[in-house]
Amino acid sequence: MPDQETLYQRGPGLSPRLIIALLIAAFSLISYFASTSYNPITEKKQHLDMTPRQEIALGLQSTPSMERQYGGESHDAAATAEVKEIGNEIVSKTDAGKTPYKFDFHLLADNGTVNAFALPGGQVFITEALLKKLKTRGEIATTLAHEIGHVAARHSAQQVAKQQLTQGLTGAAVMATYDPNDPSTQNTAAVAALIGEVVGLKFGRNDELEADKLGVRFASDAGYDPRSMISVMQTLDKVAKSRTPEFFSTHPNPANRITHIEQAIASKYPNGVPDGFVK
């Protein structure tokens, strides 16, 4: 008759690898969903583990390296002043100014990279290459308003939390499915990692659409024609057909966003956009 230890070893149960995977997944989920805050700008609950003060500090710390990456600050004083003027006007006239963030607007000297982006906490950037593609103040305003939307919606902090969750769940899936002694499990682990990347991509696209919607709101509240955002997307779409600008590494294809922008404008102005906006 087998002894008690032998029976225990052969008995059914979870493998140590699976137990560890379940613990990793549980910790990731609990950490993510336990950190909840309400955003009055988006009127949504968000799962975040950063405070606004931490976002501001992170953005300020990251600004010098981002500026170096794009050739530093522009030497065009007039264009820089215009970017700052329009950006500050949007903040002062909209709910973006009611957030705890310290907005600052930067024109970068890069003439070859078409891009605009925002760091957490309020640092907003646009390259000379993109600025030269924008024909009116309204187009500049809607571009900056979109980036202000990212900051006000706390998308960077939200992405950090989601990436941590995704990494935790992906790690748990790999731990549960990959056995180094069984080469046949390698493909299963690779699929689990790919699922994590797809989830992250989906979050990014949703953030962009939300920033477009906020951009329509902020730009029009500041007195700029929100339809200018459509012409910006059309311009970028033309650029994309000749070359792939850096803009598309952080933003979905503009042609796919125009419909959503038009819907946001129609929702805000169901009777049509009134006259008097700066185009």
Per-residue pLDDT tens for 55-112?
999 999 999 999 999 999 999 999 999 999 999 999 999 999 999 999 999 999 999 9
Instruction: Give the span between the Cα atoms of 45 and 33, in whole angstroms.
Output: 11
112 inside domain: yes
162 inside domain: yes
140 inside domain: yes
Residue 244 pLDDT exceeds 90? no
pLDDT band per the 50, 70, 90 thresholds, residue 184: low
68 inside domain: yes
Percent of the chain whose predicted confidence (pLDDT) is above 90: 59
Which range marks the domain in which residue 103 is found?
32-268
39 inside domain: yes
pTM, to two decimals: 0.79
164 inside domain: yes
Q: For the ranges 4-8, 46-50, 162-166, which has the lowest average pLDDT?
A: 4-8
pLDDT value of position 11: 45
pLDDT band per the 50, 70, 90 thresholds, residue 10: very low
- Contacts of 165-168 with CB under 8 Å at 24 or more apart are 165/28, 165/29, 165/31, 165/32, 165/47, 166/196, 166/199, 166/200, 167/28, 167/196, 168/24, 168/25, 168/27, 168/28, 168/29, 168/31
pLDDT digits (tens, 9 = 90+) for 201-235: 445 788 999 999 999 999 999 999 999 999 999 98
11 inside domain: no
Number of domains the chain contains: 1
> Tokens 């700052």 identify what position?
84
111 inside domain: yes
